[in-house]
């Protein structure tokens, strides 16, 4: 059975290019719809929710910046068959799972750094997304660029 709706999760760094390219190839070869998602993590979450200052302005800036980067991606990939382009606040694993369920996606594509040692213990978004995923998950290996 070919995939029908692929969701590609992007962190909006330059590393998201190979992830998008792979998802796009799969969408074309399967004749699937391709949707894209980026999640802006609440700053309070990063600081353990215990910060004695108002982060709302910074948070808005972060959201606006992500919006701009998504627009740049759309220009860079004009042929990208983006069914829907989602930008939400939250925790990546939870939001990706929710969206995959809601949009009836049958494949989620994420990048993976193939971590070792301590970094492996700390986990990764790809690992997080895999656990309890409502559909197949493809982790695209991201190779570190030579300096
Ligand atoms: P990381 O484990 O954080 O290095 O991220 C690995 C992959 O997880 C990225 O290549 C993206 O596919 C996905 N990812 C990480 N952070 C986000 C985010 N905030 N929104 C959507 N996808 C993300």
* Tens digits of residue pLDDT in 90-112: 999 999 999 999 999 999 999 99
Q: Compute the mean pLDDT over every residue in the chain, rounded to the nearest whole number.
A: 86
Ligand 1 and 109: CB distance under 6 A:
no
Among protein residues, the one whose CA lies closest to atom 1 of ligand 1: 125
Measured distance CA(23)–CA(29) in Å, rounded = 10
pLDDT at residue 24 above 90?
Answer: yes
Q: What is the pLDDT of residue 116?
A: 61
Q: Is the pLDDT of residue 1 over 60?
A: yes
Confidence tier at 75 by pLDDT (50, 70, 90): confident
Give the pLDDT confidence score for residue 55 in this predicted structure. Answer: 73
What fold does the segment set 5-141 form as a domain?
Answer: Rossmann fold (3.40.50)
pLDDT on residue 34: 93
pLDDT at residue number 121: 56
The 10 Å Cβ neighbour count of residue 141 is: 12
Mean pLDDT to the nearest integer, 32-60: 78
H or E stretch covering 4: none
Residue 110, ligand 1, Cβ within 6 A: yes
pTM, two decimals, is 0.89
**Ligand 1 atom 17: residue of nearest CA:** 11
- Domain extents in the chain: 5-141
How far apart are the C-alpha atoms of 94 and 82, rounded to whole Å? 21
pLDDT for residue 57: 83
CA of 140 to the centre of ligand 1 (A): 11
SS3 34: strand
């Amino acid at each position: 059975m070919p995939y029908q709706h692929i969701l590609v999760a992007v962190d909006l760094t330059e590393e998201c290019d190979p992830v998008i390219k792979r998802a796009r190839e799969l969408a074309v070869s399967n004749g699937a719809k391709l949707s894209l998602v980026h999640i802006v993590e609440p700053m309070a979450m990063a600081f353990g929710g215990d910060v004695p200052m108002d982060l709302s302005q910074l948070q808005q800036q972060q959201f606006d910046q992500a919006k701009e980067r998504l627009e740049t991606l759309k220009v860079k990939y004009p042929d990208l068959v983006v069914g829907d382009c989602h930008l939400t606040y939250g925790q990546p694993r939870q939001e990706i799972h929710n969206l995959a369920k809601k949009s009836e996606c049958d494949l989620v594509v994420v990048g993976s750094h193939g971590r070792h040692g301590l970094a492996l213990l700390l986990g990764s978004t790809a690992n997080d997304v895999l656990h309890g995923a409502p559909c197949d998950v493809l982790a695209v290996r991201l190779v570190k660029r030579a300096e």
